[in-house]
Chains A and B, each alone.
Chain A
Amino acid sequence: MSGDRLQRPARIDAQGWAWRHGSRARPAVEGLDLVIEPGERVLLLGPSGSGKSTILHGLAGVLGDDEEGEATGRLLIDGADASAARGRTGLVLQDPDAQLVMARVADDVAFGLENLGVPRPEIGPRVRAALAAVGLDLAPDRSTAALSGGQRQRLALAGVIAMRPGVLLLDEPTANLDPEGVLEVRDAVARVVRETGATLVVVEHRVPIWLPVVDRVVVLGRDGGVIADGPADVVLQRRASELRAAGVWLPGDEAAVMPAAVTPAAVTSRADGVPAAEPALLRARGLAVARVPGRPVRTDLDVDLHEASLLAVTGPNGAGKSTLALTMAGLLRPEGGSLEASARLADGAAGEPWRWKSRQLLTRIGTVFQNPEHQFLAGSVRAELEVGPRALRLRPAEIRDRVEPLLEALRLAPLAGANPFTLSGGEKRRLSVATALATRPRVLVLDEPTFGQDAVTWRELVRLMRELRDTGAGIIAVTHDDAFVRALADARFALGHPVGASSEIRV
């Protein structure tokens, strides 16, 4: 294997290609005909369920053998079967945590080279070149566990480009990153394709981010075929309404989200910081918060959450935003200071929120975690929604009266029997929010509710939170999403970099 052959951009050719997962009746992709010329930079769009990821996995040759599914037609890289072309393609996945293999930075980049059988003397220089290409200036023996999301994704990218693939395949590489990380990764990709000339196929909802990098847009239909294909600006203009309906973010969409008319009631409860007649639902004074007892990440925080208002908690990674939110949610014990619930919120529950029983929290403070999978408890969507009401020992009729409207309102009714783990990212998010709403808490705490969500789910979340707030609930949202803050926040609590950050904190 000479370096020259490896670096030549590859040609992709799908001829009537279809793939059906072993456990499913319907194919994930059907009748795909697509040619991508060497060096082209393609953005692959389509509604969820159109098989975008399956195509990338197929091109990367990791769909597995006949036991895992059934392929028909042909999927070729430079005229050879994609499953035999490993090393010619490089795949970067969405989850920054799940694709690091080794414990140290340089070892992780070297992993692919070792698998390809690259001689040891060549590995060192190629690792250094790959790290430089993605702009990671880190010690080679730096622990990969101590990297930020953006750094991890760039490391994954470095691991891939060190192998000098002819095609870069990126499967929503920036969906789980904060805005800073998104730009880091996007710019690293742009630099790499400019320098290597490699063919690029990227799947991503957020078109404005990737528009400067790609020159062609391919849109897949719901059943997997190509419905639009051509230069980026032309396709985006002609297919704008279809794409929006499919949840794709188009240029200008984020700015177009304007705050709704605010109801007078909501204004009085929070006008220019003057305390409203009602005491704050939650009142933190000199609060110190810690994820691990004895190791506070922030101290001396004063925060108020008022009725009928949304408090946005913002700040860089590692600033302690989630820890603060989970503490105010009564899930973590404060390390110091006080957290008082108003009499109305406490409703008879004694002491600070962390002392309340798990069941008492249900009607008082609901929490939606960043990763919905951490919260799933049941085998079906309907059963998942019933968990809370059941814990409250509601009568079956009452449970039904709460669950059915939620299923309808959040478009989960057709999925009522599905296992929560099999849902798409947007569906999981809607379900996790719905489970919290099912017990009608007076306070709702959300950790990065809009992370990785397509535009349709995003708009639904905004609408839902607005309605909830207008019924008088207090909402705390940890978020990096400026559009979300602009659309909804009544107050913002910005955490800076912690002073005297310990080495535990991801930088």
Chain B
Amino acid sequence: MSIAEVRPGLPLAHVNPVAKMAATVPLSVALLLTLDPVSAGVAILCEVVLFTAVGLGPLLWSARTLPVWIAAPLTGISMVLYGAPSGEVYFDAGVIHVTEGSVAIGLATMARVIAIALPAVVLFLTIDPTDLADGLAQTLRLPARFVLGGLAALRLAGTSIDDWRTISLARRARGVADRAWLRRGLGQAFALLVLAVRRASTLATAMEARGFGAPGVRTWARQARFGRTEWVVIMGGCLVAAISVAAAVAAGSWNLVWS
């Protein structure tokens, strides 16, 4: 029951998280430059093929990627309703114009959101927080205090879920749970905050007592590797970006957003 739960055994789980994050960058940049359905569509196709090939298919189609499939159409619809009008007008009411152009933009936007968010979510689900901390500190050389502080906070976030549940019950027992949900929620959120601060300060003491923040060079028990596998993963990301751009240019739909 923790956010920082260990997720062993997933394909790509052993790959340095820094490489996985880096792999999503080229495609994101490419798709932000253009607004066309071809590049995004091809990217989604490549992603599905690649993830299925490495064995992440079940994760790709699991409920955990559901937010992407919900958020993308919503973004698309808002573009359909409010996007720059052009071409044939299908529907017109005040600020809402549904036109040939806005529908095209809406579809393209939806495809782009999916193409960018899907790999980010799937790859992130294969990342163990401890590995992420190791990667950030050792590969990217971010300060250890900052990285390990963040990791500890993440672990406490898991405890907070249990705390929230217990506080709800405790408040019902104290006779104050009949209030409207907003007022109840705010009071409860404050109580949770107080508890979280207290827990965090205890944990900080325990970490300090074990030499955290002491002067001197810190070593790392686990080595964050950055070898062939990591480069292959990054190359995979570049390849998907290149194919998408090439397809869009070939199809003649490539249009830079500012042009």
What is the minimal beta-carbon distance from A386 to any residue of chain B, in angstroms?
11
Chain B interface SS verdict (over half): helix
Q: Which partner residue on chain B sits nearest A376 by CB separation?
A: B191
Given contacts A62-B205, A361-B175, A377-B171, contact A143 B221 (CB under 8 A): no
| Distance from B61 Cβ to chain A, minimum over Cβ atoms (Å) | 23
Name the residue on B nearest A435 (C-beta).
Answer: B174
> Which B residues touch A57, using CB under 8 A?
205
Residues in A whose Cβ lies below 8 Å from that of B194: 421
Instruction: Decide yes or no whether A46 CB sits under 8 A from chain B.
Output: no
Complex CA distance for A391 and B179, rounded to whole angstroms: 11
**Residue of B151, B158, B170 touching A374 (CB-CB under 8 A):** B170
User: 1/0 per residue A374-405: CB within 8 Å of B?
Assistant: 11110000000001100110000000000000
Quick check: A358 and B221 within 8 Å, CB to CB?
A: no
Chain A neighbourhood of B167, CB < 8 A: 374
Interchain CB contact under 8 A, A112 and B5: no
CB neighbours of B220 from chain A (8 A): 114, 120
Q: Is the CB of A377 within 8 A of B166?
A: no
Closest to A357 in B: B178
A159 touching B210, Cβ below 8 Å: yes
The verdict on A377 contacting B191 (CB below 8 Å), with A93-B206, A159-B210 known, is: yes
Chain A residues near B195 (CB, 8 Å)?
373-374
A504 and B178 form a contact (CB under 8 A): no
Total number of A residues with any Cβ neighbor in B under 8 Å = 72
Contacts of B216 in A (CB 8 A): 116-117
Report B-chain residues with C-beta under 8 Å of the C-beta of A99.
202-203, 206
Judge whether B175 and A331 touch: CB under 8 Å. Answer: no
Question: Chain B residues with Cβ under 8 A from A367's Cβ?
Answer: 169-170, 173
Shortest CB distance A84–B (Å): 10
Residue of A nearest to B195 (CB): A373
A412 proximal to B (CB < 8 A): no
Beta-carbon contacts under 8 Å, A464-479 to B: none
B95 within 8 A of A: no
- Which residue of A115, A127, A361 is within 8 Å of B211 (Cβ)? A115
B173's partner among A120, A160, A375 (CB-CB below 8 A) is A375
A95 lies within 8 A of chain B by Cβ: yes
Q: Which of A346-376 contact B (CB under 8 A)?
A: 357-359, 361-362, 365-367, 369, 371, 373-376
Whether B214 pairs with A421 at a CB distance below 8 angstroms is no
How long is the Cα–Cα vector from A124 to B223 in the complex, in angstroms?
12
Does B6 contact A141, Cβ atoms closer than 8 Å? yes
CB neighbours (8 Å) of A387 from chain B are: 174-176
What is the chain B residue whose CB lies nearest that of A390?
Answer: B175
A163 CB-CB contact with B under 8 Å: yes
Q: Are B175 and A439 in contact (CB under 8 A)?
A: yes
Q: Within the complex, which residue of A95, A100, A107 is in contact with B221, where a contact is CB–CB below 8 Å?
A: A107
A430-453 interface with B by 8 A CB criterion: 435-436, 439
Query: Measured between alpha carbons, how far is A357 from B173 in the docked complex, in Å?
Result: 10
- Cβ–Cβ contact A358 & B129, under 8 A: no
Point out the residue from B152, B172, B209, B217 that lies within 8 Å of A91, measured CB to CB: B209
A101 touches B152 (CB 8 A): yes
Within the complex, the shortest CB–CB distance from A80 to chain B, in Å, comes to 14
A332 in contact with B218 given A101-B210, A373-B198 (CB within 8 Å): no
Known: A107-B130, A421-B194. A118 touches B6 (CB 8 A): no
Q: Once the chains are docked, how many angstroms separate the CA of A441 from the CA of B23?
A: 61
Contact assessment for A103 and B5 in the assembled complex, using a CB-CB cutoff below 8 Å? yes
B141 at interface, CB cutoff 8 A: no
Residues of the A chain whose Cβ atoms lie less than 8 Å from the Cβ of B55: none
* A86 vs chain B, min Cβ distance (A): 5
Tell which of B187, B209, B221 has the most Cβ of chain A within 10 Å: B209
Interface residue? A45 (CB, 8 A)? no
- Which single residue of chain B is at the shortest CB-CB distance from A127? B221
What is the distance, in angstroms, from B146's C-beta to the closest C-beta of chain A? 15
Q: Is the beta-carbon distance between A101 and B217 smaller than 8 angstroms?
A: no
Residue of B nearest to A116 (CB): B211
> Does residue A32 face the partner (Cβ distance < 8 Å to B)?
no
* Interface residue ranges of A71-99 to B (CB < 8 Å): 86-87, 89-91, 93, 95, 97-99
- In whole Å, how far is A22's beta carbon from the nearest beta carbon of chain B? 14
A101-B130 CB under 8 A given contacts A120-B223, A375-B173: no
- A117 CA to B1 CA in the complex, in Å? 32
Task: Identify B130's interface contact among A102, A365, A366, A435, CB under 8 A.
Answer: A102
Measured CB to CB, the closest approach of chain B to A140, in angstroms, equals 10
Give Cα A114 to B221, complex, Å: 6
- Check A145 for interface membership: any CB of B closer than 8 A: yes
Q: Give Cα A114 to B133, complex, Å.
A: 14
Taking the nearest CB of chain A, how far is it from the CB of B30, in angstroms?
Answer: 35
B74 at the A interface (CB under 8 A): no
| Known contacts A101-B206, A117-B216; is-contact A141 B170 (Cβ 8 Å) | no
Q: Which residues of B are found within 8 Å of A116, using beta-carbon distances?
A: 211, 214, 216
A283 within 8 A of B: no
Would you call A117 and B173 a contact (CB within 8 A)? no
Closest to B8 in A: A141
* A104-B211 CB under 8 A given contacts A62-B205, A361-B173: no
| Nearest CB of A to B145, in Å | 10
Closest to A56 in B: B209
- Provided the pairs A115-B218, A291-B165, A374-B195 are in contact, do residues A62 and B209 lie with their beta carbons within 8 angstroms? yes
Closest chain-B Cβ to A474's Cβ sits at a distance in Å of 16
Q: List 13 A-B contacts (CB under 8 A).
A: A91-B206, A93-B206, A101-B207, A112-B210, A115-B213, A358-B172, A358-B174, A369-B170, A374-B163, A377-B171, A377-B174, A377-B191, A387-B175
8 further interface pairs, Cβ-Cβ under 8 Å (given A62-B209, A99-B206): A93-B202, A100-B155, A104-B130, A107-B222, A116-B214, A117-B217, A367-B170, A373-B195
